[in-house]
Structure 1
Amino acid sequence: MENSIGKSLRNIGSFTIFIGIIIGFFKGFDNSDLYETTMHWSIVFLWSAIGFVSGMLFIGFSEVLYLLQGIYINLEKKEIESKLDVPLNEINEDCEDNEKPRADVYNSIMENKNEDD
């Protein structure tokens, strides 16, 4: 299962870092003199640092969402294993053709749970 909100937040964070650096370079140029253009590195560094910190906040929030989703999935697996009394991570090698594999049982339980909600 893919976490689209976490992925979007990670992309927004990367974009914010990139834009912060670009804005830093644009704001750092001082072309007030007609014949000479100077660069104010303190302004470039300030805007780049602001973009980096803001972007890392977004990336951090996306990482929290990924971790929470992993915890949720593990809790769901443990709940289903307790109902089935069979660990889901075992491979069912002795399953005959007319029996359902454990993954199908897991998926059917999850579908029934989603329909009940």
Structure 2
Amino acid sequence: MRARLFLLVSLLLSLGSCKTKEALAPRCANAGALVKQVKNANGVVYYDSAQSSYFIRVPNSFDSHDLGYTCNLASNYQKTGLKVNFSGTYYQSDKQLGFVAGDKNYYLSLLSIQEQ
């Protein structure tokens, strides 16, 4: 009887102490501090010729967007105007560019991506 009670208490304690961790995408080389993680976000791929880099633009409002400069965008997604659904991690960026005053620039490490 004591053995069963001990097993039950041990099981409950071990279940209560489990914490799930979200997987982080590989960090971009020049990335700053972690800003946020996104799951199933919708955006559009663009190419910034001044930076020689692709980014995914995600609208926040009419005049505000997150621009995630990707460091691991697969070549089959490197198409300007391509609508995508993705998950990944945004990091602080040293890029001070923006196409609209409300744009925020980040480095974006992708965990997953698919065409919409």
After TM superposition, the score normalised by the length of structure 2 is: 0.29
Higher relative contact order (CA 8 A, sep 6+): 2
- Which one has a larger percent strand, Structure 1 or Structure 2? 2
Larger Rg: 1
